[in-house]
Amino acid sequence: MSPPTATISRAVPEAHSLDGLLAPSGPPRRAGALAASATFGWRAMLKIKHDPKQLTDVIAIPVVFTVLFTYIFGGALGGTRGHYLKTLLPGTLVMGVTACTMYGGARLAQDVTTGVFDRFRSLSIWRGALVLGGLLGDAGRYLLAAAIVVILGVIIGYRPGGGATGVIAAVALVIAFGLALSWLWAAVALLVRDAATVMNLGFAVVIPPTFASNIFVQPRSMPGWLQAFVKINPISHLADAARDLMNNTGGGGVAWSLIAIAAITLVFAPLALRLYGKQG
Amino acid sequence: MSTTGAAGDGLAIEAHGLIKAYGGQRALDGIDLIVRRGQVFGFLGPNGAGKTTTIRILATLARADGGSACVLGFDAASQVEEIRARVAVTGQFASLDEDLTGYENLVVFGRLRGLSRAASKLRADELLAAFGLTGSASRPVRAYSGGMRRRLDIGASLIVTPDLLFLDEPTTGMDPRSQTQVWDLVRQIAAAGTTVLLTTQYLEEADQLAGQIAVIDHGRIVAQGTSAQLKARVGAGTLHIRLLDGQQRHKAGAILAGTLERAVELDSDPLSLSVPLATRPDATDAGRLIGRAMTRLAEAGVAVAEVTLGQPSLHEAFLALTGLPACPAAVDHEDTYS
């Protein structure tokens, strides 16, 4: 009788071998600021790809307001539909973009509260990369909103006097304004660290000035105090600027808007970066 | 310190008098820590003892209010980027993007570690294969089980082999199978030369993995040493015996007391007895004694249903090391664990 043979096996269920994976990696590499930002931008795009539902508002707001106002108020407010569209469409372009500026901030607030944020912060990358990468994702969202407004406008009868160049310039200007607001919401997100709060604050801050502007109606019929607000409202200036560019009518709107974009960015971009870099 | 640079041996971590307060409450109350390169260092303590706070300071995620820390020869307060380029942190809660797939997560972290696009993709494939996750590569991490998530999380820390790996409670809340897998991974990582600092609430985990253990409670290190040194202070655990027949309990108790030369406790279960063992200089010594006790019981015709040698729980360890029970939270966790 032969003695029983015992085999010794490793007790680890489905053992995973890291053989050859853990070679010394050599001197540490560092991702460049641009590459890191682009990676975060790519991540933002992947998130949209995995959850396209988040684009619902981006698509719905410009469609609803463009169509609704054109057909309900168009005749009453601007004479003919085509005539009103010259005023309204650059306005809904502004609205469509500004109304979705807080999504990037909400997303950042969500990031900050999850474990992945610590891993990002534990890497040797430029501290602005996450916020800037998020802005790249935002830019994609704004471009989509802008494209929907313009295409829809052309379908229902809008003819831009400024031609393609004017439309592209207006879209670029409005997106630049959206990105300035993105910095603002990024700073807010890093302060409040709660996605729902960012969204609620976003709607409370963005929606009223959108209506209290010259997007839908000229302020002539408004009470004096509201007219005063509409005149200083940056959204009115931006809408004017978009009209000037798209309809090829000269005006001071573009200069005003560029100043507003620069001012908002210069205040909130450094603030957001400071808040991001703060160690707990 | 910094002149020694990142290469060669020396100290991976040298911390003196680390203090950190959150809203008047001292999370860390003067932590001193020496971790040699190549070591697996276990940081053992209950919830809220200051383990995570210490890791966050050493990994440059938080700043100490007092004291100093040198990580891989670099100052944790002023040479942040130098440290970040060489360490990896696997946090207590999965440090992954839940919306992205496992593959996308690894590619993102590869790019952020400075790998080219092609190298990131290649590395992601390699790591997924090594961690047995190739089949789930294109599923969002949200759909992963706890064990899969933890493996991917550790994989994300190995995109570039770190000189120092922080593992914050790598197996808390895991089933025993996943726990064994993670332990096996930690051993392989350490064997390849990476210094590992791991925190745990489980004495057994520290015992299994760590060469050197520091016990932390209320922001202070209350004991430090090798597993053997700590066990010598804690005791080797408790021998539990369950009989088939409760009538034989007194007979069994007398035999055990005589053979093991220890006090025998009668448990509330009428079939059970337990004997807290002293630690002997040589573990085979204890084994031989237990063997002899079992033989005597068999010779006396006492039928034994079950024999277990229980590890001292964290709770018992704290009692032994500090003379005080650990904070209440620890007791809860210990209960769910054992």
Chain B CB contacts of A119 below 8 Å: 89, 91, 95-96, 109, 156
- Which residues in chain B (254-273) have CB-CB distances under 8 A to chain A? none
Among B206, B232, B258, the domain boundary falls at B232
**Predicted pLDDT of residue B8:** 46
Residues B156, B80 within the same domain: yes
Could you give the residue ranges of the DSSP H alpha helices within A23-128?
33-50, 56-72, 74-78, 81-98, 102-113, 115-121
Instruction: Look at residue B281 and tell me whether its pLDDT is greater than 70.
Output: no
Tell me the percentage of chain B whose pLDDT exceeds 90. 54
Beta strands at B220-226 and B87-90: parallel, antiparallel or unpaired? unpaired
- Which residues in chain B (83-112) have CB-CB distances under 8 A to chain A? 84-89, 91-100, 104, 108-109, 111-112
Mean pLDDT for B214-240 is 83
> Would residue B326 count as lying in a domain?
no
Q: What is the CATH number of the domain that holds B23?
A: 3.40.50.300
Q: Which residue has the higher pLDDT, A13 or B218?
A: B218
Structural domain count of chain B: 2
Residues B124, B247 within the same domain: no
> Would residue B331 count as lying in a domain?
no
> Would residue B81 count as lying in a domain?
yes
Structural domain range at position B184: 2-232
Residues B75, B22 within the same domain: yes
- Which residues in chain B (271-300) have CB-CB distances under 8 A to chain A? none
Residues B148, B268 within the same domain: no
Q: Does A2 touch chain B (CB under 8 A)?
A: no
> Would residue B54 count as lying in a domain?
yes
Residues B156, B259 within the same domain: no
Asked casually if ipTM beats, i.e. exceeds, 0.90, the reply is no
Instruction: Look at residue B4 and tell me whether its pLDDT is greater than 60.
Output: no
Tokens of residue B11, six digits:
């100290």
Locate the chain A residue with the closest alpha carbon to B23.
Answer: A280
Mean pLDDT for A252-273 is 92
Contact of A76 with A126, CB cutoff 8 Å: no
Instruction: Look at residue A2 and tell me whether its pLDDT is greater than 70.
Output: no
Mutate to test the interface with B, among A10, A22, A136 (most CBs of B within 10 A): A22
- Which residues in chain B (168-197) have CB-CB distances under 8 A to chain A? 177, 180-181, 184-185, 188-189, 192-194
Instruction: Look at residue A13 and tell me whether its pLDDT is greater than 60.
Output: no
**Predicted pLDDT of residue A189:** 94
Cα A162 to chain centroid distance, Å, stands at: 26
Task: Give B289's DSSP letter.
Answer: H
pLDDT band at B279 (very low <50, low <70, confident <90, very high): low
Residues B227, B252 within the same domain: no
Locate the chain A residue with the closest alpha carbon to B96.
Answer: A116
Which residues pair with residue B217 across a beta bridge?
Answer: B220
Cα–Cα dist A57/A203, whole Å:
12
Go through A21-37 and write b for each residue having 16 or more CB atoms within 10 A of its CB, e for each that does not.
Answer: bbeebeebebbeeebbb
Return the domain boundaries, chain A. Answer: 34-277
Q: Which residue has the higher pLDDT, A216 or A201?
A: A201
Mean pLDDT is lowest, of A79-83, A214-218, A244-248, for A79-83
pLDDT band at B332 (very low <50, low <70, confident <90, very high): very low
Among B215, B232, B249, the domain boundary falls at B232
Q: Does A108 touch chain B (CB under 8 A)?
A: no
Q: Please give, rounded to a whole number of angstroms, the shortest distance from the CA of B210 to a CA of chain A.
A: 18
Residues B216, B268 within the same domain: no
DSSP 3-state of B158: coil
Task: Give B140's DSSP letter.
Answer: B
Tens digits of residue pLDDT in A135-191? 988 999 999 999 999 999 999 888 999 889 999 999 999 999 999 999 999 999 999
Instruction: Look at residue B263 and tell me whether its pLDDT is greater than 50.
Output: yes
Q: Please give, rounded to a whole number of angstroms, the shortest distance from the CA of B44 to a CA of chain A.
A: 22
Instruction: Look at residue B41 and tell me whether its pLDDT is greater than 50.
Output: yes
**Predicted pLDDT of residue A239:** 93
CB nearest to A28's CB, from B63, B86, B89: B86
Residues B40, B189 within the same domain: yes
Residues B151, B226 within the same domain: yes
> Would residue B337 count as lying in a domain?
no
Tens digits of residue pLDDT in B101-114? 999 999 999 999 99
Residues B136, B43 within the same domain: yes
Chain B CB contacts of A280 below 8 Å: 56, 61-63
DSSP 3-state of B92: coil
Contact of B295 with B314, CB cutoff 8 Å: no
pLDDT band at B262 (very low <50, low <70, confident <90, very high): confident
Q: What is the CATH number of the domain that holds B248?
A: 3.30.70
Q: Does A68 touch chain B (CB under 8 A)?
A: no
Tens digits of residue pLDDT in B44-87? 988 888 999 999 999 999 999 999 999 999 999 999 999 999 99
pTM of the model: 0.80
Token pair 């997007």 is found at A215
Locate the chain B residue with the closest alpha carbon to A42.
Answer: B108
Which residues pair with residue B276 across a beta bridge?
Answer: B238
3-state helix, strand, coil in chain A (%, to 5): 75, 0, 25
